[in-house]
Structure 1
Amino acid sequence: MVKIAVLGAGGGVGQPLCLLLGLCPLVSELALYDRHRAPSVAVDLSHIPSQNLQKVSGYTAADDGLSNALRDADVVIVVAGPGITAEMASRDSLFQQSALVMRELVREYTRVCAEAIMLVVTNPVNAIVPFTAELLKGYGVFDARRLFGMTTLDVVRGETFLAEAEGRRGGDDRVVHVVGGHSFQTIVPLMSQAQPPARLGWRELEGVVNRVRFGGREVYYAKERNGAATLSTAYATLRFTEAVCGGLQGEKDMVECAYVHLPGIEGGDEIAEAVGVDYLAVPVEFAVEAFLVIWISWESGKLTVWQMHGASRIVNPLGTISSKEQILFDIAIPALRKNIQTGVDAAKNTLSDEKPH
């Protein structure tokens, strides 16, 4: 079974996510962290019966709470951040605030559980993931197979909106990969590769694609410019986490899209060289690796040890995208390159500030 630490558990995404994780049969322990509200969320959650959840605990910033929440975690989900308000709707402002939060969390993650898989939900993902990766590199613990930016919400929207356009309810029987990044300029839904194939004309498909790309704005304006997607983000994060946990427990064919550092994951170097960026949202497969340990004493014996590295390989969908999808992808790459550089530069400044002068 799996221990998950949720950082930012008291927020608009954190609370529904904790409820969903508490009901997930793959999760055995939840450690919730927030500056103030995590203990109350943990108590509230503990009142719900669960056959698999053996322990739920809540921690605040007091009494080394972050360290206690992270200790022995298999998966760390970061939903902590400033959120989106009417006064702070720009991605640049959001990045500055989120980077301050991530700086503290990454430092403690490095010290306590550097081998845990980290899922970053905190926005803006396009810049925060490179920022996090460069910090981990500076601390000497980076492994591309263990760091993921959450773009599953775009996939969920793609599958749901396509089903709606076809006059059906739900989208769970669909597979729609979404590549690029996690902003309207960088989201590229691959409707041409939907399984089963889409039953729509190209004009109708364009409408679905645009709705996916601007899905965040749809929620933002529905909430009168005073909030972002919370429930759908929590659901999408659960879905991605289930794929990771399934891989941890040896299940096969666990594939979800995520924003990753391409070099360091099987198949990633080729994509990075082809597209000209090191970070990209792509379909990722999760798996464990088995090692056979043999020892000799009075009797010979053997033990199979399973080790989870996170991403085992990237499933490359870029060779068969349509001409219209290629246009969107060509628009996405320069925007991604700028976002990535923002994160990398900020991390370098952070590491420089931490070095003794």
Structure 2
Amino acid sequence: MYKLRATKPLWDVATKSFSTSNANNTKVTVLGASGGIGQPLSLLLKTNPLIQELAMYDILYSPGVAADLNHVATPCKVKGYGPGQIRDALDGADIVLCAAGVPRKAGQTREDQFNVNSRIVKDLAVSCSMMNPNAIYGIVSNPINSTVPLFSEMFKKAGVLDENKILGITTLGPVRVSSFISQEKGWDPSKIFCPVIGGHSGVTIVPVLSACTPAPDLSMDKLKLITLRVREAGVEIVEAKQGSGTVTLSIAWSAAKFADSILRALKGEKGVIECAYVKSNVASTRYFSNPVELGPKGIHKNLGMPKLNDYEKSLLEECLPILTQHIKQGEAFAAAKI
């Protein structure tokens, strides 16, 4: 059985474990870097001591955003790239984070969002597969249940697919559970870890609260409320913003945390575990989110599914047919001549 780790404060392990003078030669590229997620994500990455160079690519404003970030007093150098410059942005990148696309707005369905973002992700995947097929790719663009299969299929078409190097970033699920449990118990959320399996939207999200460390010792009714809140967290934020915005900052923080875990694994740290949505045979679906151990080449080991109680098994049964539909949607769009 793998040992799950609590959510560390950003850069906590990195700053203690590695010298920034010699070991720091990593380039990270953010696609969609000028958007609502891309900008705060890039700011967080700028402060990571394990990143030497940050490349920001977007169709608008990225040179200006990069100029702004270069005023932040950290060693990481930032450069912005616009239309026609994606090859330079990708060149030499060790990690590429795809945050491109439009957010899901109030009143929009998941399908509405996919209809827009699928074209964006497909075009970017084609470029990435030709220009830097060897990087580790973290997909943030929603809906992740479909965009990750789409992205992977484009690499497969190009004959360069490495299933261990394309990961859907589902870190937000465990981060939310940690936050919500901490609110109930008064605990430090950085000391809590709970795996979240399945997919990354609605009923495909399966928090495995029975595997939380430490055990929260909450009533079943309370655990069910936390599960529902995690599944509907996006709606909660849209309503709190009164329709003027959507989830951005918590996604950016979670993606930066995931990137830091990959960076630490690239530098040789062992036992780095995150939940990620990846191609596997863990469940009956072709893609599934669960804890994986990261290594220098992406996924070092898929740690499989934690033990589920009866309630969690019922959630998984609800998840799988819908997740299968979402996966097929992404694969079908990859196959279409659009």
Normalized against structure 1, the TM-score is what? 0.86
Who is 2:17 aligned against?
none
Who is 1:285 aligned against?
293
Residue 42 of structure 1: how far off its partner (Å):
0.5
Who is 1:12 aligned against?
36
Bigger radius of gyration: 1
Higher strand proportion (structure 1 or 2):
1
Who is 2:94 aligned against?
74
For 1:77 and 1:171, locate their aligned partners in 2 and report how far apart those are by CA, in whole Å: 25
- Native 8 Å contact 1:131 1:344 kept in 2: yes
> Matches of residues 302-317 of structure 1 in structure 2 within 5 Å?
308-317=296-305
SS state of the match for residue 179, structure 2?
helix
Who is 1:60 aligned against?
82
Who is 1:150 aligned against?
169
Residue 25 of structure 1: how far off its partner (Å):
1.2
- Native 8 Å contact 1:165 1:204 kept in 2: no
Q: Which segment drifts farther, 3-12 or 226-235?
A: 226-235
Residue 133 of structure 1: how far off its partner (Å):
1.0
- Native 8 Å contact 1:81 1:97 kept in 2: yes
For 1:197 and 1:25, locate their aligned partners in 2 and report how far apart those are by CA, in whole Å: 33
Residue 127 of structure 1: how far off its partner (Å):
0.7
1:92 aligns with 2:111: yes
Who is 1:163 aligned against?
182
Who is 2:19 aligned against?
none
Who is 2:309 aligned against?
322
Deviations 1:69-119 (A, max 9, x none): 1111000101110222346x1111211111111122111111111000111
Who is 2:18 aligned against?
none
SS state of the match for residue 292, structure 2?
strand
- Native 8 Å contact 1:118 1:147 kept in 2: yes
SS state of the match for residue 82, structure 1?
coil
Deviations 1:314-341 (A, max 9, x none): 11234x2111001001000000010011
Normalized against structure 2, the TM-score is what? 0.90
For 2:267 and 2:254, locate their aligned partners in 1 and report how far apart those are by CA, in whole Å: 20
1:198 aligns with 2:216: yes
SS state of the match for residue 188, structure 1?
strand
1:185 aligns with 2:203: yes
For 2:117 and 2:161, locate their aligned partners in 1 and report how far apart those are by CA, in whole Å: 20
Choose which of 224, 229, 235 in structure 2 pairs with 1:211. Answer: 229
SS state of the match for residue 36, structure 1?
coil
Residue 199 of structure 1: how far off its partner (Å):
2.4
Q: How many residues align?
A: 314
Deviations 1:45-66 (A, max 9, x none): 0001114x1x2100111xx311
For 2:175 and 2:266, locate their aligned partners in 1 and report how far apart those are by CA, in whole Å: 23
CA RMSD of aligned residues (A): 1.2
- Native 8 Å contact 1:106 1:135 kept in 2: yes
- Native 8 Å contact 2:129 2:154 kept in 1: no
- Native 8 Å contact 1:31 1:58 kept in 2: yes
For 2:263 and 2:284, locate their aligned partners in 1 and report how far apart those are by CA, in whole Å: 31
For 2:138 and 2:239, locate their aligned partners in 1 and report how far apart those are by CA, in whole Å: 27
Over the matched positions of the two proteins, sequence identity in percent amounts to 35
Choose which of 341, 349, 354 in structure 1 pairs with 2:328. Answer: 341
Q: Which runs of 5+ in 2 are unaligned?
A: 1-24
